[in-house]
Structure 1
């Protein structure tokens, strides 16, 4: 499952085939039905694979492909690398449509492939013209799309052109080179996050084989989730120029929004170069040295902030220090915060105690906003945390659902509790999905259950639940305490939601008296809620 990114049933089937074992087909009937959709997707993948071979043949074996091959050689790419990545060339002559016409490929399939542009009369023409072609593979190594780099320099066409969104290709979900990089990342190499295909390929050619890249978009939650599934170490290696530095800042913010538990670091390429250029000019060894000296996100953000600030004026310095303290407040280690304060105090000749006084309320605000248990962490790294009062309900829900999934006696006990419901909708949804799971299966398997979940947010929550650090066996007191916390909170929370909905409706129709009464009711319920939280 992990190595080839397969579902649990698919992994069972694959291993059975490898070992020549017979497994009754009925076990896979529900998991992977041979639907028209899945059959069509296989046909589209086959279509893309044929296009890869055609583009690659034109590049390597024809005169019309020679300029494109010369371009790649000038970029420092060897024939071995070109073959490894199956790079190709889409010529100006538009040969792809006639190629598939000769093979009598279904017209509707060609329309859905993303390889062609459609005219108003329904006619199809090659989408990619005079472009060096980079096949885009999914995590299983199947070609799902292309990115074409324009060869001509005097054209007003876009420099890069990607396949359109298709049944197979969603650029927000794809990480370029993940299939090649994953074995290297699993062998304890950090995942290197690049901006462009050439960065990844040049690094690979130089022996740096754990590089991946997003598809010309800002990093997405799905891509971060896919990275977290295979590693705990990520180094962001974007371009060293101003746009590249801004892109690094966006990437750091994207990681923050997922509440990740990754060891995230940042490399700043000197002299405004991109990684491809740096490796070609200065060598892979020098780039490896940059990786070894990668800085923390906070260090990068402080430097980035400094470049955006006017430190020549007192107002500019004050604004920078205030913004820097906000960043320092997000650092969980007290020792690290103290070191950053020392640096600020020395740099601006400010009394450290003054900085501490300004920092203290920021730390308190950050602490109340920081979740107790965030994105997935490896079990060996998980740490028991003492929850704050405001986190009691979240922790109780997480602990109880973990116990319910892994212990059938706890499941039966909770199901037999009259009026039980989780407070938060996400936990309740997982609970309902688990009911459906246990209706089909006797024993709990996280991979099988995970395959039943389609929403990314619920997948992430399940990972969080699985990764919390709990004693091996639950005690009756633990279960009763969690139930008590949830049950005391649930009725008030439910009534609050109902009253808020009524208030919104009263506001729509302009019923002022009703709004006034409902506001009183909501205030009373909020007071009850706070009293119960403090109990």
Structure 2
């Protein structure tokens, strides 16, 4: 069992990384004021409200309220424990963590999520072993080698083989894995008698991993044709696998996507793997025929550009057209198309030529969405026939009319004039008529409106509307105390001081405890000390309030006066008003008269304090 990670090790890991570098692997961040902003990875949005504060080393979403330090970010994003987050940050930053602090394969994992991950990790290792080291896997290994994959690539993608005979069931039964866990794993098919059998049989196994690189599913390809079985068989949805928000190879491609500031969407797993082996490592594939809104959101958060690179056949071209339409409707990404020469799919092109030629295509042969549309609309038409020419030009000009850039529009008109031998002036005249008679058609993938820019920090940072004067004073004072040591000393010098509301008093007491063992209160470190989600959220909200730059203590004294003197009176007024409601319900006139006198006196005291 792993040993608890010491606090000094945790602080060393946290202090060795910049939260912006870690978050930036998942979110495309842009500077706005003092902070960095991007699209929140925890909910869908089109205007960035997710903030990273490098000075405090914390993140905070002003829309959904999530916030914390670098460890909390990974815990929330990847559904992992605190120790796992510390180890992941350390591994990504090449910081050595002693093995005694790492959870071993034999260590117990309490959550069902963790147990399912463990099953899939073990299954992937077993499938890979069968492929690489057994006689029964030789045919599958030969197949992969013929497809151009070497052993290093096979290992990188954890490709394996599921033989015909049941393999996983006896393997897990021997390890006394709980039957109900096996049932819910998706690795087995259950018959009417409750008996389990392996879901995958005689299939090359492609491993599906989440963004953290953990195995969560498989896609099995038949090794030999079987008319009664699907060519590809995917894992069903489970507690750890949802195909709508999973992207094949995203764990390996993420850093390359950020580096290139672009992602390439391939049609199949083999295309992604072939591209990776050729040095094009920013490729991913969806888990179905088209991208989902969740998958589009994941990609939009880390890059501004997406290229579609589907097969060159009719099905692939139709899929490209649908993908461009879908993505342009749901994102602000700049889109393009990379078309393999000779109508080949990427995997076929690499096998026919070599890695150098393959990379050259992706470095240069990029097509705009309008360029693709011009080519796509020409399919199935006889463009030597005047009737087809006129129909084609009419449809194409509707698309060109949607292009906002005059230069780009002029380029397409030149191409059309040269191709069909017509006067450019005639095309411009007809184009003007199209724009007058109807709203410009939005071209799939063509940017029509400016990309949303981060809202200025001053517009985003605000206190909740429901707070009263006392609570606003408490939040302001706690903010000053946590960010200014002189204010902390000034307030704590008054031994009678306490906050009114429990959450602020709790944070105050926890800060006192933290300061006894730490020379400096750093918010990122204090967040680990505050081991409660709601308190952490409150702390983030308070520390992200606009900074107060006054050097004097007048505002601090005002807050203390309000909390220590007016707050008790306001609480008494609240209690008396509640009692008045009850007295009226009981029709007790004597009590109503008494409470009225008491309330008058309390309001006089409150007014006197305001005037003091």
TM-score class, shorter-chain normalisation, is: 0.5 to 0.7
Q: CA 1:238 to 1:371, structure 2 compared with 1: closer, same or farther past 3 Å?
A: closer
Q: What do residues 144-172 of structure 1 show as CA deviations (whole Å, max 9, x unaligned)?
A: 10000101135531111111122222222
Match of 2:347 among 247, 251, 276: 276
Task: Give the 3-state SS of the residue equivalent to 1:120 in structure 2.
Answer: coil
Counterparts of 1:392-431 in structure 2, within 5 Å, are 403-406=458-461
Match of 1:472 in 2: none
Gaps of 5+ in 2: 1-22, 28-40, 43-66, 73-81, 92-108, 470-536, 546-612
CA distance in 1, matches of 2:386, 2:128: 60
Larger mean CA deviation between 352-361 and 180-189 belongs to: 352-361
CA distance in 2, matches of 1:332, 1:443: 43
Do the aligned partners of 1:196 and 1:216 also contact (CA within 8 Å) in 2? no
> In the alignment, is residue 11 of structure 1 matched against residue 80 of structure 2?
no
Match of 2:246 in 1: 174
Match of 2:228 among 156, 169, 180: 156
Match of 1:249 among 321, 334, 337: 321
Do the aligned partners of 1:311 and 1:317 also contact (CA within 8 Å) in 2? yes
1:137: Cα distance to partner?
0.5
Counterparts of 1:225-236 in structure 2, within 5 Å, are 225-236=297-308
Larger RCO: 1 or 2 (CA < 8 Å, sep 6+) = 2
Match of 2:120 among 41, 48, 70: 48
CA distance in 1, matches of 2:308, 2:447: 24
1:339: Cα distance to partner?
2.0
> In the alignment, is residue 105 of structure 1 matched against residue 177 of structure 2?
yes
1:190: Cα distance to partner?
3.0
Match of 1:327 among 363, 380, 399: 399
Q: What do residues 26-75 of structure 1 show as CA deviations (whole Å, max 9, x unaligned)?
A: xxxxxxxxxxx992111111111011011111111111111111111111
Match of 1:210 among 282, 293, 313: 282
1:440: Cα distance to partner?
8.0
Match of 1:441 among 538, 541, 550: 541
Larger mean CA deviation between 358-367 and 343-352 belongs to: 358-367
Match of 1:91 among 145, 163, 176: 163
Match of 1:490 in 2: none
Instruction: Report the structure number with the largest CA radius of gyration.
Output: 2
Task: Give the 3-state SS of the residue equivalent to 2:212 in structure 1.
Answer: coil
Counterparts of 1:298-337 in structure 2, within 5 Å, are 298-337=370-409
Gaps of 5+ in 1: 21-36, 380-398, 417-436, 446-535
CA distance in 2, matches of 1:372, 1:348: 28
Task: Give the 3-state SS of the residue equivalent to 1:208 in structure 2.
Answer: coil
Q: What do residues 290-310 of structure 1 show as CA deviations (whole Å, max 9, x unaligned)?
A: 121211111111011111334
CA distance in 1, matches of 2:179, 2:452: 45
CA distance in 2, matches of 1:256, 1:314: 33
CA distance in 1, matches of 2:431, 2:110: 56
Task: Give the 3-state SS of the residue equivalent to 2:217 in structure 1.
Answer: strand
Match of 2:193 in 1: 121
Counterparts of 1:191-202 in structure 2, within 5 Å, are 191-202=263-274
Please report the RMSD computed on the Cα atoms of aligned residues, expressed in angstroms.
3.3
Do the aligned partners of 1:208 and 1:284 also contact (CA within 8 Å) in 2? no
CA distance in 2, matches of 1:65, 1:82: 13
Match of 1:2 in 2: 24
Give the TM-score normalised by the residue count of structure 1.
0.65
Q: CA 1:361 to 1:39, structure 2 compared with 1: closer, same or farther past 3 Å?
A: farther
1:94: Cα distance to partner?
1.0
Q: CA 1:255 to 1:19, structure 2 compared with 1: closer, same or farther past 3 Å?
A: closer
CA distance in 2, matches of 1:202, 1:65: 21
Do the aligned partners of 1:172 and 1:220 also contact (CA within 8 Å) in 2? yes
Larger helix fraction of residues: 1
